[in-house]
Chain A
Amino acid sequence: MSELARMAVSAFAPALFLVPGWALTRGVDGLASRPSRTARVAWAWLAGAAWTGAAGFAGSLLFRVALNRTAFVVIGLLPALGAAIAWLARGAARLAARRPGAGGPRRESLALAAWAGLVFLSLLLEAATAPASDFDGRMTWGPLARHIRAERSVLPAALTDGTCYISHPQYPPLVPLLRVALEETLDSPADERCSRPLYAWFFPVFVLVLFDSAKQLAGRRAALAAAFGATLLGPLTFGSNGGPAGTYSDFPLGLFVGGATAIGLLGRGAFGSSAISGLLLGAAVLSKNEGLPLAAASALLIAVRHWKGAGRLVSWLARAAGPAAGASMAALLLSTWRARIPNRFDEDYVASLLHLRSFGPSLDRLADGAGAIGRECLTLRGWWPLLACLAILVALKPSGSRSPWLRPLLLLAAVAPLAGLAAYAVPGWPVRELVGSTWDRLLTQVSMPLLIVLALLVRPWMVRAGGGGTEEPSRRSRSAAGVALAGRGAALLDTGSHSP
């Protein structure tokens, strides 16, 4: 295969996740009937990636399935088989009739598509041509993928043999497993450039899922502002320390958690959206250590929000059970997997925190860390644009920005930074170095809720600028076959000035 052909195949290989994803989301209320085709594709890809990783992990761990091409093809086609049966049972006409026309894209959407497309193209080509240059990717995630592929198992000897020098052997392996899925399916050579484009693919999916979710909560223009914001942030675009230009698992984790929360909150309560939310939260748990607290917070947030709006227990359970079950099952799988792997070359922050004898050194570290965090936030290609805009909008306090979603989303966004602060308090590694290598990544993990908060805050300004007529989120959503918010939440958003 020529170098050009290899590059082209590598760049577009991640599209394979659309096969199971399309089938998984086809029957889901609130996803299949999205007016925007690009949004449907983004949700399908995300669900397909989560399914492939989670099913591959469970299959290898519980049933010792060899993770080869056959296994991944079966994993990919299983949902399609289920969808085909459901389609035959329900009838094609019924499904097709539920999808409203999207109308043509508007000028602002085209501008976003052009700019985000350029960013994506840059990321994709760079990933397909250049080897990884980030630190953890080369130390942890890349070797993990290669060990899994070599033995076609999520329990390769490199992990289970305690003498093996593997950094963080108990790190959740879902994203490296996705790399293996692509490499095995396409029988790629042992060249990391064949699977690096996977990380680039998470970028457009992030932008589309963010836009789609924010649109339902804050209207189209505010969602556009948030999506543009995402494309203008260095850590979410060309950042290799946790961003899509690197090979860390933080950006995928941020997308899994953000997507799960959005669909969990916005779903109409049907089993489908609840299950997809659970699948995405399960993928989050299997992606990184921080995935568990984030998934737990997200599942709790979904349960509490629906408790307020639910009329009946059954209805509440239908909405809340999926996310909780997905996160719990993944946590159980992960602990089963970890039980087989002797831990070494790892920092146990939780145990260290529990055994703290004095808080004095920890407080000194936090004081030292606060300065480092401030510097990180003000880095030229860092988070300052988002943080500055959030600060400005909060200071201006536009009327109508008191959305009922603000507080829960901010609480979710606080989980990862708070976990980081707890780790910074543990004596050991110099706190400034620790902040320098982790703070960006912690914010990346909660970037989706932060950007939706930006959309909510900016919404009143957008409504004023646009005359308000086209900015009502729920009017469009309702007309789109009841995709969006139901009941009280929608009413609150319609008026835009209600307090929770």
Chain B
Amino acid sequence: MPCLAVGLVAFALQVESVRTMWARIGTFAGKSARDAARTVYGPELAGSFELLAGQVPARSHYLVTDGPNWGEEINWMRFALAPRRPVLVTRLEEGREIMVAPSVPRDAPVLIRSGAGEGRPPVLLDPVLHFSGLPTVRPEVEDLGLPSGLSLPEEGRQVEGDLQVEAWCLGPGGRPCAGFYFRIDGEWRLPDSFERNLGPGLESAASTGDAPPAERFRASFASLKRLESHELVVLAVTNEANFRKLGPRSFFWRRRP
């Protein structure tokens, strides 16, 4: 008798599950594969999958770099793009970018940054720009002894209007670093303006430590994506192809009113 009661409760729950199942059937009945995918993933994510599938030839490989927030989108993307073959280039672990692939196929047609979590679609990146400083993302060549500083933006502060980035880095022999690369919210970005050798007359908002002002640089970005908070990482590369990572630095941004 107790088992019969258990069975009746389970039956009632199953009837509800059957009803849910038929509601789902009603939602998808008659839809094409494309429309069904849009219903499951949302139009933005599904649309980006379609776009990416058009960019990568079937059975070819493509490069993937991790988004700033590990999300499920990278799995949905791999499914949507299979049988294209993903090569994971870098993965973020506790804010640190880790090189995952032992070697990167340079002929891969596209580089995709996986979704930034919360249903955000993956983004197509320019592999040439991304890998112009490829040694910079190899963790084994990061030189933590390089003197450096990142003065702007300040941690946790709000930025209004153009985003100003101020930093410095010295390579071996006290020579200034040769190149700087900016990753904002997981994407490599070219600044809208870039100035070196700011000179002694220009003071930054915060202390730059022991940096000789003449070695500092300033980069600015006119606009950022609409996100609640942002994250900046600067890679400073020396002539010897060593690098020092500055950041990550979190800040808030809004357009100039």
Contacts and interface: CB of A to CB of B under 8 A. Distances in A.
A123 B88 CA distance: 35
A130 B35 CA distance: 10
B3 A458 contact: yes
B21 A126 contact: yes
Interface in B23-55: 24-25, 27-33, 36-37, 40
A268 to B, nearest CB: 33
Given A143-B79, A158-B83, A165-B86, A150 B13 contact: no
Contacts of B22: 122, 125
Interface string B84-126: 0111100000000000111111000000000000000000000
A234 B14 contact: yes
Given A122-B22, A129-B28, A164-B61, A138 B83 contact: no
A164 B87 contact: yes
Contacts of A166: 86
Interface in B46-92: 58-59, 61, 64, 72, 75-76, 78-79, 82-83, 85-88
A238 B9 CA distance: 16
A147 interface: yes
A289 interface: no
Interface string A423-465: 0000000000000000000000000000000000010000000
Contacts of B2: 388, 392
A163 B13 contact: no
A164 B7 contact: no
A388 B14 contact: no
B7 A228 contact: yes
Determine chain B's interface SS by DSSP, over half rule.
Answer: helix
Nearest to B9: A385
A123 B13 CA distance: 16
B101 A163 contact: yes
B87 A165 contact: yes
B55 to A, nearest CB: 17
A232 B85 contact: no
A388 B27 CA distance: 35
A245 B9 CA distance: 21
Contacts of B6: 385, 388-389, 392
B103 to A, nearest CB: 7
Interface string A298-340: 0000000000000000000000000000000000000000000
A150 B58 contact: yes
B36 A156 contact: no
Contacts of A139: 75, 78-79
A94 to B, nearest CB: 44
A123 B21 contact: yes
Contacts of B17: 234, 237-238, 381
A142 B86 CA distance: 15
Contact of B14 (A119, A131, A151): A119
B217 to A, nearest CB: 35
A422 B222 CA distance: 54
B10 interface: yes
B25 A138 contact: no
Given A139-B75, A143-B78, A165-B86, A3 B105 contact: no
Interface string A226-250: 0011011110011000000100000
Interface in B116-160: none
A162 interface: yes
B50 to A, nearest CB: 13
Interface string A153-181: 00011100111111100000000000000
A189 interface: yes
Contacts of B100: 165
A150 B83 CA distance: 6
Contacts of B9: 385
B40 A133 contact: yes
B178 interface: no
A343 to B, nearest CB: 14
A193 B21 contact: no
B180 to A, nearest CB: 29
Contacts of B87: 163-165
Given A163-B105, A238-B21, A156 B83 contact: yes
Contact of B85 (A158, A189, A229, A388): A158
A162 B102 contact: yes
A135 interface: yes
B83 A3 contact: no
B18 interface: yes
B25 A129 contact: yes
A191 B9 CA distance: 37
A3 B101 CA distance: 41
Q: Which 10 A-B pairs have the closest CB atoms?
A: A150-B83, A165-B88, A143-B82, A385-B10, A232-B10, A146-B82, A130-B28, A139-B75, A129-B28, A165-B86
Given A130-B28, A385-B7, 15 more contacts: A119-B14, A126-B21, A130-B24, A130-B40, A131-B37, A139-B75, A150-B82, A150-B83, A151-B59, A163-B104, A165-B87, A165-B100, A189-B33, A234-B14, A238-B14
6 contacts: A126-B24, A129-B28, A151-B83, A232-B14, A238-B14, A238-B21
